[in-house]
Structure 1
Amino acid sequence: MGERLLAIDTASPACSVALFENGALIAASYAEIGRGHAEKLVPAIAKLPDRGKADKILVNCGPGSFTGVRIGISAAKALALAWGSDIHGYNCLALVAAQALDQLEQPEPICVAMLAGHGQYFVQNYCANGKPAGDFASLTPEQAVQEVRADVIAGSAATELATLAGSKRDISILPNAAHIFLVAEDMKNMFPKPDYGRKPDAKPTKTG
């Protein structure tokens, strides 16, 4: 058996896992579930060959759902500890950009727009080579329109933002762990900690 890599993605309404051996996909699971990642993730990993055991783990660190990001990273850290595996993270928007670029006939700049809750979008522009053209931000739809720097918008908010921006093509997709090798290697070495992209919905109650 060669080197195995397990990719975990729970930062969006989709829950996906994928197992690779020497860079080749050998098994994967993808489901758009909305909520319930905690209940779906471990069984999905357990159904992979050798129950998903891998030498390296990659996990989506966000931005995305607070609960989803936290579940994915917690599971990845627990498995890495149990298996003695290396663990790294990647940016949610980078994977969406890579998936969108893979669908185009010719590479061109991409603007990624993902639903961020509270009526906002996570927005980030990417170059035709898949590299970020700036930092991501959580923006209102009106603000997001001003930040679009490409003719193609991809992500869960792509259709909405393309309609607002006008004269834009949209690719409505969610991140899928099975496509993680579309992302450049230097963009898959994040420290595995949550990057929620915005402040928590609730604040701890002060005591005393």
Structure 2
Amino acid sequence: MSTYLLLDTSTSRTSVVIVKNGEVVFSEYSDGALSHGETLPKLVVAALKVASQIDEVIVGMGPGPFTGLRVGISFAQSFAFARGIKWQGVCSLDAIASQFSDKDFLVAVDARRKEVFYARYTDGVRIGEPNVCQPSQLDALQIPIYGEALNQFPDPSAFVDIANSNKTYSAPIYVRRPDAYPAPVGVKFRPMTQLDLVPAFAIEKAAYGKDGWSMAQLKEEYAGSDRMYVAAEFGGELISYAGVFNLAGVADVLTLTVADGHRRKGIGRELLRRLIDWSRTQKCEAIMLEVRVGNEEAIPLYTSFGFIEISRRKDYYGPGKTAIVMRKELK
């Protein structure tokens, strides 16, 4: 049997636990969102007085606010290196979920900026990777939500079982992408015009084939009221376009298409940002979109902006082609 030093600084609570031969022999915590750096060493010193011979360190890798998270991870790595022992990282949300047995539930912790980090669990098993959104988006799912708002925090004593049965992490689970992205070099963003319809149709056909809009549909969607289209061009050539529609106070993304050869360059991100900004100027309460199941380029982009899945539409893109319906609250 081994002795484990278990640490978590992913929330406003700093927790230190020692498990020896399967038994918890030390468990202490201190609350304070800004005191991780001061508190953690003191708790570890107290823990080592109970059991000084440590065989392995396991640390909560988040998600959590950057500063607090780094305190725990850096300490765990340094401690393990100095002693020549192994260290592992686990998802901190899993250590909250381990305390509950509901069929379907969410775990959420404070992400600052009026947002929460969360994960969904079915029969105690996490579904996918943690994400970030506004609390109201989780409330809309109408399933139990556990976590920091209810004074429920990661229990590091569960880290050993989590490390043995779940995915471990070698890097922090930050979830949020950087706030600032470099503008796509040489790309001009401007309002879309009727002159763009022909090249837009060519991009549409190349991207979606027979599942794309017809020229008549493209013209009809473009000409409608209460909507905005934006185009991106490179070297005087249209390479991308996107549109959004205000339907009774809820914005709906009509299209967001980037030509092949220009993807993964930040163009789609900039277009989506402009659609969201326009929706806010229209005082929309939320913005929604559909994305095909399995679209591994688009789904991470949308989730990074705070969109969450609210439903699925079977055969939306044709027989056997299901759409994920996603929504982002704007108020």
Fold match (TM-score > 0.5):
yes
> Alignment partner for residue 189 of structure 1, among 156, 168, 171?
168
1:199: how far off?
Answer: 3.3
* Residues 65-112 of structure 1: per-residue CA shift (max 9 Å, x gap): 2111100010000100111111100101111111233xxxxx422211
More off after superposition, 135-144 vs 71-80: 135-144
How many residues of Structure 1 are paired with residues of Structure 2 in the alignment?
180
Higher normalized strand content (fraction of residues):
2
Structure 2 gap segments, 5+ residues each: 182-331
In the alignment, the residues of structure 2 paired with residue 181 and residue 144 of structure 1 have an alpha-carbon distance, to the nearest angstrom, of 29
RMSD (Å) for aligned C-alpha atoms: 2.3
Residue 135 of structure 1: SS of its match in structure 2?
Answer: strand
Residue 117 of structure 1: SS of its match in structure 2?
Answer: coil
Structure showing greater Rg: 2
Alpha carbons of 1:72 and 1:115: their partners in 2 closer, same or farther (altered >3 Å)? same
Contact 2:88 2:163 in 1 (8 A): no
> Alignment partner for residue 177 of structure 2, among 177, 185, 199?
199
In the alignment, the residues of structure 2 paired with residue 127 and residue 94 of structure 1 have an alpha-carbon distance, to the nearest angstrom, of 12
Residue 136 of structure 1: SS of its match in structure 2?
Answer: strand
Percent of pairs identical after alignment? Answer: 29
* Residues 183-205 of structure 1: per-residue CA shift (max 9 Å, x gap): 362226322x21112135689xx
Partner of 1:15: 14
Contact 1:9 1:177 in 2 (8 A): yes
> Alignment partner for residue 116 of structure 2, among 121, 134, 144?
121
Residue 172 of structure 2: SS of its match in structure 1?
Answer: coil
Alpha carbons of 1:39 and 1:67: their partners in 2 closer, same or farther (altered >3 Å)? same
Partner of 1:91: 91
What's the TM-score, normalizing by structure 2? 0.50
Alpha carbons of 1:52 and 1:109: their partners in 2 closer, same or farther (altered >3 Å)? farther
Q: Which amino acid aligns with 1:154?
A: Y
What's the TM-score, normalizing by structure 1? 0.77
Residue 35 of structure 1: SS of its match in structure 2?
Answer: coil
Contact 2:58 2:160 in 1 (8 A): no
Write out aligned runs for 1:1-208 (5 A).
2-50=1-49, 52-101=52-101, 107-128=102-123, 130-146=124-140, 148=141, 150=143, 152-157=144-149, 171-181=150-160, 183=162, 185-187=164-166, 189-191=168-170, 193-199=171-177
In the alignment, the residues of structure 2 paired with residue 46 and residue 202 of structure 1 have an alpha-carbon distance, to the nearest angstrom, of 39
In the alignment, the residues of structure 1 paired with residue 85 and residue 3 of structure 2 have an alpha-carbon distance, to the nearest angstrom, of 10
Alpha carbons of 1:68 and 1:185: their partners in 2 closer, same or farther (altered >3 Å)? same
In the alignment, the residues of structure 2 paired with residue 78 and residue 184 of structure 1 have an alpha-carbon distance, to the nearest angstrom, of 19
In the alignment, the residues of structure 1 paired with residue 60 and residue 161 of structure 2 have an alpha-carbon distance, to the nearest angstrom, of 14
In the alignment, the residues of structure 1 paired with residue 161 and residue 146 of structure 2 have an alpha-carbon distance, to the nearest angstrom, of 15
More off after superposition, 25-34 vs 81-90: 25-34
Structure 1 gap segments, 5+ residues each: 102-106, 158-170, 204-208
1:20: how far off?
Answer: 1.0
Q: Which amino acid aligns with 2:118?
A: V
Alpha carbons of 1:202 and 1:67: their partners in 2 closer, same or farther (altered >3 Å)? farther
Residue 132 of structure 1: SS of its match in structure 2?
Answer: strand
Alpha carbons of 1:153 and 1:126: their partners in 2 closer, same or farther (altered >3 Å)? same
Residue 175 of structure 2: SS of its match in structure 1?
Answer: coil
* Residues 101-142 of structure 1: per-residue CA shift (max 9 Å, x gap): 3xxxxx4222112111101111211012x2112332111233
